[in-house]
Chain A
């Protein structure tokens, strides 16, 4: 905890020195002090918009977790479907969100729905792939044991295979937190009247660069918080995965 903080302070110092010594226009790059001032002065505005974005990202990651795990289960059990759709799945990941966002807004409106759709779309893949991988890598001896104890294929899956794959699903969700935040910003950019992405776009337009940077700081802090919340959730729900040297 101390080390990352020291590193951030050092970087901020270099940044502040650079803006002052090189006399960079605050419109191009505001100094940390100015960003700090905006964080304080615009705190209500930032918090209100954070509420909107946090809801989008939180629900979006949950949706991605549900659909990703669901898809992994189906693709694991129905190999034909897997062979048919896997390349397409990868393909969907290559479609830039900016292309889809206006279409989704056109279909689903300006509310929460298109944001959820976009975040689910970008986060679904890491969850599905890590879960599917974990399901494939089930210890064959474990499955033999289940069979010798009289388990049906379905019982072996739900009792032994799926619980073993859950940590992987949560790692997938953790990985997807960062892209979920980017997805939310892009989604708000293509049509919305609230959220940190919206505020970012608006501040840039109004030449309030410091406020835009303040929005980015809040976004980053939120992503870090969400990431570690998921670590805590994993420890709480899946205590057997705790081992020394894990994520801290």
Chain B
């Protein structure tokens, strides 16, 4: 990474698209304060990382996994669960509160992981290819799920992906990164309101623009 500047406005969803190995994950880890940058600075509200793998703890129920951040902040078990429970109902996980992670499908696990990220209470969410491990059908479903979740719970989002369609459907603004050393080679705003379909003209246009920029 070199001379890379990324600015994100509060409440904005910025999607970074770039080839594998250009340092997208590292960029997110720097944003979340998990890795010290060799040089450069981060000026931002506290950010929380949602890693590529769901990393749910297999010895906790789905509800307790989602409620980890409140527990770490000092809430007792019941108080933390009470904070997670309404989100389960609102985001299509009602009835799965007491399920163990290995009883959940990949899509369900990813939803729990996202709620866990939301419950950290940090204003900036850094999502690292959150749907990469899912099959195409589930990915499609989760994409619209995430769009509506963000409509209900607006957050500043930096999402990294190499799925161009995903970028066009979710982003307010798409930044295209070059291979190493990574730089921003194009900036494509997508202005239609979410949720959007894959076939919306604005999405199709944004997708074409991103693909063009990646050439």
Chain B residues closer than 8 Å to A145, beta-carbon distance: 49, 51, 55
Q: Indicate if the CB atoms of A240 and B116 lie closer than 8 Å.
A: no
Of A141, A148, A152, most buried by chain B (CB within 10 Å of CB) is A148
Determine how close the nearest CB of chain A comes to the CB of B79; give it in whole angstroms. Answer: 15
What 7 new A-B contacts, CB under 8 Å, besides A148-B120, A149-B69? A139-B55, A141-B55, A144-B51, A146-B72, A148-B48, A149-B68, A238-B59
B53, B58, B120: the one contacting A150 at CB < 8 Å is B120
Residue of B at shortest CB range from A139?
Answer: B55
Q: Is B129 an interface residue (CB 8 A)?
A: no
| A149-B120, A150-B120, A163-B59 known; A144+B34 contact, CB < 8 A | yes
Report the separation of the CA atoms of residues A46 and B2 in the bound assembly, to the nearest whole angstrom.
77
Please encode chain B, from 25 to 65, with 1 for each CB lying within 8 Å of some chain A CB and 0 for all others.
00001001010000000000000110101010111000000
Total A-B residue pairs with C-beta atoms closer than 8 Å?
48
Chain B residues closer than 8 Å to A149, beta-carbon distance: 48, 68-69, 72, 116, 120
| A151-B72, A159-B68, A240-B59 known; A144+B48 contact, CB < 8 A | no
B32, B53, B100, B101: the one contacting A148 at CB < 8 Å is B32
Q: Is B82 an interface residue (CB 8 A)?
A: no
Chain A residues closer than 8 Å to B72, beta-carbon distance: 146, 149-152, 155, 159
Chain A residues closer than 8 Å to B59, beta-carbon distance: 163, 238, 240
Residue of B at shortest CB range from A239?
Answer: B100
Q: Indicate if the CB atoms of B34 and A148 lie closer than 8 Å.
A: yes
Report the separation of the CA atoms of residues A207 and B59 in the bound assembly, to the nearest whole angstrom.
55
Report the separation of the CA atoms of residues A159 and B51 in the bound assembly, to the nearest whole angstrom.
18
Chain A residues closer than 8 Å to B9, beta-carbon distance: none
**Count, chain A residues at interface, CB 8 A:** 19
Determine how close the nearest CB of chain A comes to the CB of B184; give it in whole angstroms. Answer: 24
Report the separation of the CA atoms of residues A163 and B100 in the bound assembly, to the nearest whole angstrom.
15
Determine how close the nearest CB of chain B comes to the CB of A201; give it in whole angstroms. Answer: 46
Please encode chain A, from 129 to 168, with 1 for each CB lying within 8 Å of some chain B CB and 0 for all others.
0000000000101101111111110010001100100000
Chain B residues closer than 8 Å to A150, beta-carbon distance: 69, 72-73, 120
- Which of B's residues lie within 8 Å of A, judged by CB? 29, 32, 34, 48-49, 51, 53, 55, 57-59, 68-69, 71-73, 100-102, 116, 120
Report the separation of the CA atoms of residues A152 and B69 in the bound assembly, to the nearest whole angstrom.
11
The 7 closest A-B pairs by CB, nearest first: A240-B58, A148-B49, A149-B69, A151-B72, A150-B72, A163-B59, A145-B55
Report the separation of the CA atoms of residues A13 and B29 in the bound assembly, to the nearest whole angstrom.
66
Chain A residues closer than 8 Å to B120, beta-carbon distance: 148-150
Residue of B at shortest CB range from A147?
Answer: B34
Residue of A at shortest CB range from B57?
Answer: A160
List CB contacts (< 8 Å) of A159-200 with chain B: 159-160, 163
Determine how close the nearest CB of chain A comes to the CB of B158; give it in whole angstroms. Answer: 13
Determine how close the nearest CB of chain B comes to the CB of A162; give it in whole angstroms. Answer: 10
Residue of A at shortest CB range from B52?
Answer: A141
Chain B residues closer than 8 Å to A144, beta-carbon distance: 29, 34, 49, 51
Residue of A at shortest CB range from B102?
Answer: A240
Residue of B at shortest CB range from A156?
Answer: B72
Report the separation of the CA atoms of residues A145 and B72 in the bound assembly, to the nearest whole angstrom.
12
Report the separation of the CA atoms of residues A152 and B72 in the bound assembly, to the nearest whole angstrom.
8
Determine how close the nearest CB of chain A comes to the CB of B198; give it in whole angstroms. Answer: 31
Report the separation of the CA atoms of residues A159 and B64 in the bound assembly, to the nearest whole angstrom.
11
Report the separation of the CA atoms of residues A139 and B56 in the bound assembly, to the nearest whole angstrom.
12
Chain B residues closer than 8 Å to A239, beta-carbon distance: 100
| A150-B73, A150-B120 known; A141+B51 contact, CB < 8 A | yes
Chain B residues closer than 8 Å to A159, beta-carbon distance: 57, 68, 71-72
